[in-house]
Structure 1
Amino acid sequence: MPITGVYFIPAHPNASTALGNITERLRSSFPDEDLIQLGRWTLEQKLMRDTPGLLPASSGPNQRPSKPRYMQFLSLSHYHNHGFIYTSEPAEQPFNIPNASSPSPAATPVAPGSANDSTTTSNTSSMLMTTVPHSSYTTLFQHFTYACQPFWCHRLTVVVQNGVFYDIGDFRVRLGDVRQTYPTNRVRGTVVEIEWRGPSVIDSLDGAVVSDVNGETDSGVDVSLSVLEESDVDAEFAATALLIREFWGRVGVEGAREAILVPGIGSEVKERLVKIKGARNNRGGLSGSAEDNPDPQAGADVARQYMEVLRFNR
């Protein structure tokens, strides 16, 4: 569960991208580090947008125009077990029957943790993240493309086909050119993912709970994790964001869009923390998911960042 930041540098359709410039800046800005290519990575994102309603729009003076809703499908080669789906959360109930007798919001009981619980649903986050097994990822997209055409429209597809990554000190840097392949082929720009690989409290969550093969009840949770709270996770993300911004500032490439502390960031880590504490309270190990995908939520935070900078609305 690394902490990352993502930057996107747009490019004109007929101009060269910033990829070569960024690579040279990395070499010159960190002369004490050998810039050795460690491997390649790929990305594919498909953006869908809702279509206008079938009913005529209300012309009332107090009727606000509805905001567009988006659904994004993202595949990252460094999280090859599953794909990511990021969709707009409905702002209101789809049907509102006039003059219907219903209890007032103040009198309506709300179960803790439900969708209507204001303490768990942030007003700043209007997108919902989920993951699906990679074997079902393409099939699900085809379902929305063909079966849900009246409601969702495939707007564009962008890819990073030959991305590279380097380790520079306590950071891992992934970069690559973003090319649009649908509906037309064109260059969109360059994307850079900066991952902090130095010491972090969050690192203690990885593998903190291991199920014993003999069914023993010892969860193996470090005692220090019992005092780790969600506020500590937020503080860790905020502190690491400063390190990532300082790193990017040394590179000195202007005109980039930044996605670090985006809405919903840290949810992956907080969900993991809740599971660990639950396993500790139950005095049992936290069993993984399927053997081929031990952590189905891995990469959800960085996926949010990619989808923020690659949601080209125009």
Structure 2
Amino acid sequence: MPVTALYFLPASSPDSNPTQDILAKLTSHYDPSPLLPWTLSHRIFREVPSAQLPVQSSSSLTNGVDKAKSSGPRFLQILNLSHHAPRTFVAITSAHSASQTRAGTPASSNISAEAASGEPATIVSIPAGPPSEEFIQLVVSKFGPLWQQRQILSLGNGHAFEVGDFRVRVGELRQGGSGGGQMGRGAVCEVTCVGEEAEQGKDGWEAGEAVVKGFWEGLALHGAREVYWVPGLGDGEGTIRQWCEILRPR
């Protein structure tokens, strides 16, 4: 299967433009062939503290610490990706979901086996368009006591390319509604290896992941948050789980 990795390169200052930095590296290192532009929209709701159910079992206590409290709140994420149309994806994730996420610095780049384990996020899909908008309005108007809207994200200047055995998507991540006042957060980049290394099975995944890492490292772009494997990745949602992880608030 194709192997995908996601990268978020934050803006280092109000004047920086990580999207252009990635595009400049791509064009200087390779000869990319343009593909159709792409879009992204993402809403995230945070579980209201009073709605969290306490765990009554004594097994939830370790050294006097309640695991239900230490695990943090859950998030309701609503995601649209133009290259996964015509579906809208709805995910329930936790504040400390287990995944292979790297912060982009040497001190935090080593991921333990424990961090790569855990329960996968719960994901369902609904038709995009009016049904999706109706669902959002339902959450906002009827489920406010349970879920509080945290942020709205969208994508600007979504570029896509074919680069040899890779498909690369790059865009500017913006925070804020469509009514104005959007703030640039940085750049997101999706790199997919579709070559022979990306074969079915564990060995194929590991080989493909190594190739994707090599491609990104060859661009010499530092400080990105990286997402590779996440629990449940092979269960049918493809990169949706990875997108929910990289867009989840820290």
By the TM > 0.5 criterion, same fold?
yes
2:89 to 84, 89, 95: 84
1: distance between equivalents of 2:51 and 2:151?
23
What residue is the counterpart of 1:110 in the other structure? none
Contact kept in structure 2, 1:165 and 1:172, CA below 8 Å:
yes
1:51 to 48, 52, 59: 48
What residue is the counterpart of 2:118 in the other structure? 124
What residue is the counterpart of 2:105 in the other structure? none
1: distance between equivalents of 2:87 and 2:53?
39
What residue is the counterpart of 1:237 in the other structure? 205
Structure 1 residues 37, 237: CA separation in 2 closer, same or farther (over 3 Å shift)?
A: same
1:198 to 192, 195, 217: 195
The secondary structure found in structure 2 opposite 1:242 is: helix
Structure 1 residues 144, 13: CA separation in 2 closer, same or farther (over 3 Å shift)?
A: farther
Alignment of 1:27-42 (within 5 A): 27-30=27-30, 34-42=31-39
1:252 to 213, 220, 228: 220
Q: How many aligned positions are there?
A: 218
2: distance between equivalents of 1:46 and 1:17?
23
| Deviation, structure 1 residue 160 | 0.6
Structure 1 residues 56, 245: CA separation in 2 closer, same or farther (over 3 Å shift)?
A: closer
1: distance between equivalents of 2:51 and 2:160?
46
| Deviation, structure 1 residue 28 | 2.2
Structure 1 residues 173, 52: CA separation in 2 closer, same or farther (over 3 Å shift)?
A: same
Structure 1 residues 170, 6: CA separation in 2 closer, same or farther (over 3 Å shift)?
A: same
Contact kept in structure 2, 1:41 and 1:161, CA below 8 Å:
no
1:62 to 55, 61, 64: 64
Runs of 5+ consecutive residues of structure 2 not aligned to the other structure: 56-60, 95-115
Q: Deviations over 1:102-143 (max 9, x none)?
A: xxxxxxxxxxxxxxxxxxxx9612521221121422211221
Give the fraction of aligned pairs with identical amino acids, expressed as a percent: 29
2:142 to 132, 140, 147: 147
What residue is the counterpart of 1:157 in the other structure? 152
Runs of 5+ consecutive residues of structure 1 not aligned to the other structure: 90-121, 203-231, 269-299
1:17 pairs with 2:17: yes
2: distance between equivalents of 1:55 and 1:308?
21
Contact kept in structure 1, 2:6 and 2:227, CA below 8 Å:
yes
2: distance between equivalents of 1:55 and 1:263?
23
2: distance between equivalents of 1:78 and 1:54?
34
1: distance between equivalents of 2:43 and 2:192?
24
Q: Which amino acid aligns with 1:312?
A: P
RMSD (CA atoms): 2.8
1: distance between equivalents of 2:8 and 2:198?
28
**Bigger Rg, which one:** 1
The secondary structure found in structure 2 opposite 1:131 is: strand
Contact kept in structure 1, 2:198 and 2:205, CA below 8 Å:
no
Q: Which amino acid aligns with 1:70?
A: F
Contact kept in structure 1, 2:173 and 2:186, CA below 8 Å:
yes
What residue is the counterpart of 2:111 in the other structure? none
Q: Deviations over 1:12-60 (max 9, x none)?
A: 4623221111111112222xxx2232221000011111011169989x9
1:71 to 71, 76, 82: 76
Q: Which amino acid aligns with 2:204?
A: E
The secondary structure found in structure 1 opposite 2:76 is: strand
| Deviation, structure 1 residue 167 | 0.6
Structure 1 residues 23, 55: CA separation in 2 closer, same or farther (over 3 Å shift)?
A: closer
Q: Which has the higher contact order (CA 8 A, sep 6+)?
A: 2
